[in-house]
Amino acid sequence: MKKRVAVIGLDGMAWHILNKLFKWNIMPNLKKITQKSLKGTLESTIPPESGPAWTSLATGVNPGKHGVFGFTIPTKDYNGIKILSSRDVKYLRIHEMVAVQNLKSICVNQILTYPIKKFPGSYVITDWLSPEIRYSPEIKEYAENYHGPTLTKPSPLLKKNWDAEYADVSSRVDTINALLQEIDWDLFWAVYSEPDHLFHRYYDLVMKKDRKVMRLFNKIDETFKIVEDIADLLIVLSDHGFRKFNYGVYVNTLFEKMGLVKKASQQTIKDIACQRQVDNPRIQFRLPESLYTYLSKVPSSIEFVLLKIYKQLLKVDIRAKMTTHINPKLSKAFAHGFGVYIREKELTDYIVSMLKRSQFIGGVWKKEEIYHGKQLEAMPDLVIVPNFNGGYALRGDAIAPKPAMRREFSAHHPEGIIIIYRENVRPSWMQGIRVYDIVPTILDFLGLDIPEDIDGTVIDLPKD
């Protein structure tokens, strides 16, 4: 008897946010499903970034096997940065595994699907990291109406063009809903990136139940009304969570103080401005460089109070445009995202020791301590995460006035969500579910072979 599995991803969703949407009745269809489902906290990968997390969710293996650590990596000669593509994913993903075993799959907006790898029976719409949206010709009738941001097309969110954003979201929801209902499939895998994009820029608007933002979530909720009636097994999940943080961490600033990093240019602060937290602010208030330098040197507690005063007076936030970048080729070691690349390997233990002493670092691992597989060489020498519980989050690779700057902003958190629904499942809270467990669970449910080197295990789905 034919079985259907649907996975709907809500990029960046966290339980404390989703529960508010339920309380406000913004996503009633998903709320109804959740009430009769298995659910739990899904711990993200280390690091909690969309690249490694979504790739691990879709492969069932760790980054040392699939080869993806982030969206970008330094080039081998350290002269630049390379944007990853599907060519850098070195392990079959679930929509490909299903097709290889003669079933049909649809995959929409899975990270790093451009260019499309062709498998008979596998139909793909590429993700927002593509230079352009591409799709399998077999689903052209539906996919040509799918609109969204790409590497060359900015999201309307950047300019708060809410009507244009709603139109784009509607095109994606309508395309996914049509594919769910009108195309034959055994596995349906679709990711909505909107939560992550909204939380990065407009977390406060989400938490204040802004009408324009709620409209977007309400539109996405239409998918859950449709998929519940079609799928025999429905899995709703996120790649990581989101939180508000108090400190931005600049690891390369610490490395500069340790004499490890060389600057690409003399540090200057060309554009000191007090501005709204959007990418293209209409309101700017220029501050003397000496004043900003002073704010950066005072103790964090005092700095935070001063920033609060400015915000109350001007209704805007003080921000500095950092223009100091590192020169990887001349540096002994440098940080890129959650990874540390060490050019002089004899310094490894010293760097680990120094990072572990830093109150803003929550974890440091040599790559072989947490990853394994044929792609281990492609991983950075060290993997770091900030002290999330202490209110710290990584802020960027530039060199800032201090390694940890007191700021309020939203960023990724390791705790995501997972909701699993099937007929007669016993609603309960699950513990210990890993990102690697999704693929073997799907393959087992569909009666397909599970790769021997998979890192996950099949999730037990207790019935009433």
Residue 227, sorted as left (phi over 0), alpha (psi -120 to 50) or beta, turns out to be alpha
Residue 48 lies in a domain: yes
18, two tokens: 């989703």
The answer on 418 and 403 residing in a single domain is no
**CA–CA separation, 120 vs 4, rounded Å?**
18
Residue 406 sits in the same domain as residue 428: no
CA-to-CA distance for 328 and 312, rounded, in angstroms?
40
Per the CB < 8 A criterion, the answer to whether 382 and 364 are in contact is yes
Along the 464 residues of the chain, how does pLDDT read in single tens digits?
789 999 999 999 999 999 999 999 999 999 999 999 999 999 999 999 999 999 999 999 999 999 999 999 998 888 888 899 999 999 999 999 999 999 999 999 999 999 999 999 999 999 999 999 999 999 999 999 999 999 888 899 988 999 999 999 999 999 999 999 999 999 999 999 999 999 999 999 999 999 999 999 999 999 999 999 999 999 999 999 999 999 999 999 999 999 999 987 543 333 333 332 333 433 334 445 455 455 455 555 555 555 555 455 544 444 444 446 788 999 999 999 999 999 999 999 999 999 999 999 999 999 999 999 999 999 999 999 999 999 999 998 888 888 998 888 999 999 999 999 999 999 999 999 999 999 999 999 999 999 999 999 999 998 87
Residue 452 in any domain: the answer is: no
Q: What is the pTM of this model?
A: 0.89
Calpha distance 123→310 (Å, rounded): 52
How many domains are contained in the chain?
2
Confidence (pLDDT) at 167: 97
Alpha carbon distance 133, 361 (integer Å): 38
Neighbours of 366 (CB within 10 A): 17
Which range of residues forms the domain containing residue 73? 5-240+414-445
Residue 457 C-beta-side C-alpha neighbours within 13 Å: 5
Q: 251: Cβ–Cβ under 8 A, 6 or more apart, which residues?
A: 335, 340, 355, 361, 384, 394, 397, 403
Distance CA 174, CA 375 (A): 38
| Chain centroid, CA 252 distance in Å | 22
Report how far residue 129's alpha carbon sits from residue 126's, in angstroms, rounded to the nearest whole number: 8
Q: pLDDT at position 273, please?
A: 32
| Residue 461, in any domain of the structure | no
Q: 371 and 285 share a domain?
A: yes
Nearest to 417 by CA among 146, 128, 5, 20: 20
SS3 107: strand
Pick from 265, 181, 163: which is nearest to 230 by CA?
181
In a shared domain, residues 188 and 335: no
Same domain, 93 and 223: yes
Distances in Å between the Cα of 212 and the Cα atoms of 26, 161, 163, 388 are 12, 10, 9, 30
Q: Please report the DSSP string for 280-301 in residue order.
A: S-S-EEE--HHHHHHHHHS-HH
Residue 449's pLDDT is what? 97
Q: Would strands 284-286 and 81-83 be described as parallel, antiparallel, or unpaired?
A: unpaired
Alpha helices in 70-190 (DSSP H): 94-100, 140-143, 162-182
**Same-domain pairing of 103 and 173:** yes
Domain co-membership, 162 together with 280: no
The 3 state secondary structure assigned to 338-374 is CEEEECCHHHHHHHHHHHHHCCCEEEEEEHHHHCCCC
CA distance 335 to 267: 18
As to burial, measured by CB atoms within 10 angstroms (0-12 exposed, 13-18 middle, 19+ buried), residue 314 is middle
Largest CA distance in the chain: 73
191 and 60 together in one domain: yes
Whole-number Cα distances in Å, 365 to 20, 323, 341: 35, 29, 12
CA dist., res. 209 & res. 359, Å (int) = 34
Residues near 99 by Cβ (< 8 Å), separated by ≥ 6? Answer: 105, 119, 120, 121, 122
Do 220 and 353 reside in the same domain of the chain?
no
In this prediction, residue 290 carries a pLDDT of 52
Query: What's at 136, amino acid-wise?
Result: S
Does residue 328 sit within a domain?
yes
CATH number for the domain including 75? 3.40.720.10
Residues 233 and 289 in one domain: no
Handedness of CA 270, 273, 279, 282 (dihedral sign): negative
pLDDT of residue 311: 52
What is the C-alpha to C-alpha distance for residues 70 and 336, in angstroms, rounded to an integer?
9
Amino acid at 120: P
Q: Domain check: are 74 and 195 in the same one?
A: yes
In this structure, the answer to whether residues 324 and 286 fall within a common structural domain is yes
Q: Is residue 284 part of a domain?
A: yes
